[in-house]
Structure 1
Amino acid sequence: MSRPLDVVVVNGSPSEPSKTAALADLITARLGELVPITVRRVDVYRLGPGFTGGLAREDFPPDVEAAYRAVEEADVVVAATPVFRGSYSGLFKHFFDHVGQYALANKPVVLAATGGSDRHALVIEHALRPLFGFFQAAVLPVGFYVSAGAFDGTTVLDPEVYSRIEVGLDDVLPHLRNLTLDREPT
């Protein structure tokens, strides 16, 4: 029997409660229905001044370093950010500025973003894919963008969002199942 996939969500939202975190939760819930997973979340806003004041990886305190190790050692990363002025949040970018250059190479990454309107939907293609292309990550061909109108607070009301997540993850299921088969039990 294979061990569950270690899924780490990087939530780039600077606030709580967060629509972005809610979207990531929907993605990981569906993923957990498809393959065995464990989920950990790195909420960048919770990393505090030791994170925001760090200019180099060695400047970070142990708790922030642990967040980096979790992402770098994960089997799958869910990278989720709100859209600010047409791109990912500054805290999200600051986090990934300090991830090891090759730490995400060939690692499956699911892209997710939330924004005020559908005008920002291309952030997945024009900002997030290039960022993770730099890391040579195995960015999954599906990405999930949800605009504010689909939410009531942090609850997604639009059934189309649930459908897109279900169909999108079902499409990459063979790849994800191969990951679980490749894992040694611990």
Structure 2
Amino acid sequence: MSIVGISGSLADPSRTSVLVDLIVGQVAVGAFSKKSFVSIAGIAPSLGAALDPQSIPAEIGSAYEKLIAADVIVVGTPVYKGSYSGLLKHFFDLLDPKSLRGKVAVLAATGGSDHHSLVLEHQLRPLLSFFGVYTIPATVYVKDSDFVKEDGNYRLSNPDISARIDTIVAQTLGLIGRSNSVSSIAA
């Protein structure tokens, strides 16, 4: 099984990328043979210029291949002006709506205040539901103040977030187990 994290942040390094990488690492322990990461910051120049899904640059195609091949997707975004990042939405806009059907997703976000946490339920969950993705019930929202910057990189400094991530891990593994059971019965 494989897992991919996608960070919608336009910065590098970013708090969102640290959070997504942490979740991917925790979920992947013992359950996944392959993990990968897609950074919107890394493909931003090509992505911003891409308008036709039939002629996308190779680096975006490679990112889509990772997403399509994954069993679990961890989608993280910083919250800008009350919404997820525009290039993250553009990334999903160019993707075939049927390509993610049946996958499992974890939703995560970072932002300046608690008010932004609603993005997870009111924007990210509906976006992924459009693609036919099963989102786990728990989400994780982390405020910018829950990180510290050391040697140019961010590190999560709030230990309470670990309990939320533990819940996400349990729910993800539970849903994967159930979806595998349903798939084998249907076959």
TM-score for the superposition, normalised by structure 2? 0.88
Amino-acid identity (%): 36
* Deviation, structure 1 residue 138: 0.9
Structure 2 gaps of 5+ residues are none
Q: Which residue is equivalent to 2:21?
A: 25
Contact 1:81–1:89 (CA<8 Å) still a contact in 2?
yes
Q: Which residue is equivalent to 2:10?
A: 14
Is structure 2 residue 92 aligned with structure 1 residue 96? yes
Q: Which has the higher contact order (CA 8 A, sep 6+)?
A: 1
Q: Which residue is equivalent to 1:114?
A: 110
Cα separation, 2, equivalents of 1:130 and 1:26: 24
* Deviation, structure 1 residue 145: 0.8
Of 59, 66, 84, which aligns to 2:55?
A: 59
Is structure 2 residue 166 aligned with structure 1 residue 166? yes
What secondary structure, in the 3-state scheme, does the structure 2 residue paired with 1:10 have? Answer: strand
Cα separation, 2, equivalents of 1:29 and 1:102: 27
Q: Which residue is equivalent to 1:152?
A: 148
Deviations along 1:112-160, one digit per CA (max 9) or x if unpaired, are 1100111101111011011111111111112111111111121111111
Matched residue pairs, number? 179
Contact 1:35–1:177 (CA<8 Å) still a contact in 2?
no
Cα separation, 1, equivalents of 2:28 and 2:138: 17
Cα separation, 2, equivalents of 1:53 and 1:180: 38
| Runs of 4 or more above 4 Å deviation | 178-183
Q: Which residue is equivalent to 2:42?
A: 46
For 1:126, the aligned partner's letter is H
Is structure 2 residue 121 aligned with structure 1 residue 125? yes
Cα separation, 2, equivalents of 1:129 and 1:77: 13
What secondary structure, in the 3-state scheme, does the structure 1 residue paired with 2:99 have? Answer: coil
Contact 1:31–1:37 (CA<8 Å) still a contact in 2?
no
Q: Which residue is equivalent to 1:35?
A: 31
- CA RMSD in angstroms comes to 1.8
Cα separation, 1, equivalents of 2:113 and 2:44: 29
Which segment drifts farther, 77-86 or 50-59? Answer: 50-59
What secondary structure, in the 3-state scheme, does the structure 2 residue paired with 1:130 have? Answer: helix
TM-score for the superposition, normalised by structure 1? 0.89
Structure 1 gaps of 5+ residues are none
